[in-house]
Amino acid sequence: MEHHEYDTMARVELNHWWYVGMRRIAATLIARIPTPQTIVDAGCGTGGNLRWLAQYGTSFGFDMSPAALSYAHSAGERVIQGSIDAIPVASASADLVTSFDVIYHRAVRDDAAAVRECARIIKPGGHFILRVPANDWLRGYHDERVHTARRYSHAQVTQLCAQAGLEVKVLSYANTVLFPAAVLQRIREHGSGHLDAQSDLTAPSQFIDFIGRVALTFESWLLAIGVRMPYGVSLVCLAQRPMAHTQDGVHDATKAA
């Protein structure tokens, strides 16, 4: 990610409509699982989501970027440096692992290996929340700024989880209400012959902020009552590391996968 994008992220991630709305959607997923005691945020960035996750349990995070971690450290978050390709956390030690817009990054050379690493540190019966950008044809200037290597389809996320031995419980597109606006923005960028110099993270007007919050809050409510969005700018997934039963008792099903 461009260094100045971390500056922007640290300034806006607590109050920007997209971050606030996406946390409401993630909260809907967390509400479906037992209260986690230990939460690991894989690729915690500047630490804004760690502050939010702390209400659910003991949370800590890691990130490979010293620039991002400096913001998290200054805010008092519990963070360490590490890569999602080789997570510096003991196996089967977390009740919940979250990964918010991380594995899409070009610094993650093998996204399947990254998801397997996340699965490794989840306790049997524990859960994984994954969020990724959707629809490769939606690439725009923001993707260049944040070093996007890949955007995902519903089938690709399902496959990544299955390969890691995780059972998908909820999988839905998100940022659906505002999807037409995102499409028009990308058409404008590509049609102009050059990409917009303004990051998608730029602080919006009060009107846009209000509309964005309402849209994503509405989507979180739909997700809570079981509606799965058929398209959107992002994909959100809740998966579980299963338990398997044998004659000798319970063992970790992922070891047999």
Whether residue 206 has pLDDT greater than 60: yes
pLDDT of residue 4: 61
Q: What is the pTM of this model?
A: 0.88
113-132 pLDDT, tens per residue?
999 999 999 999 999 999 99
**What are the extents of the domains in the chain?**
3-243
Mean pLDDT of the chain: 87
- Average pLDDT for residues 49-68, to the nearest whole number? 94
Q: Is the pLDDT at 250 greater than 50, yes or no?
A: no
Model confidence at 136: pLDDT above 70: yes
Residue predicted with more confidence, 138 or 237: 237
CATH T-level topology, domain 3-243: Rossmann fold (3.40.50)
Per-residue pLDDT of 161-170, as tens digits, reads 999 999 999 9
* pLDDT value, residue 199: 52
Q: Which of 224, 202, 213 is nearest to 9 (CA)?
A: 202
**Cross-strand pairs, 90:** none
Token readout for 129 is 């929340």
Q: Which residue has the higher pLDDT, 66 or 249?
A: 66
Average pLDDT over residues 198-208: 72
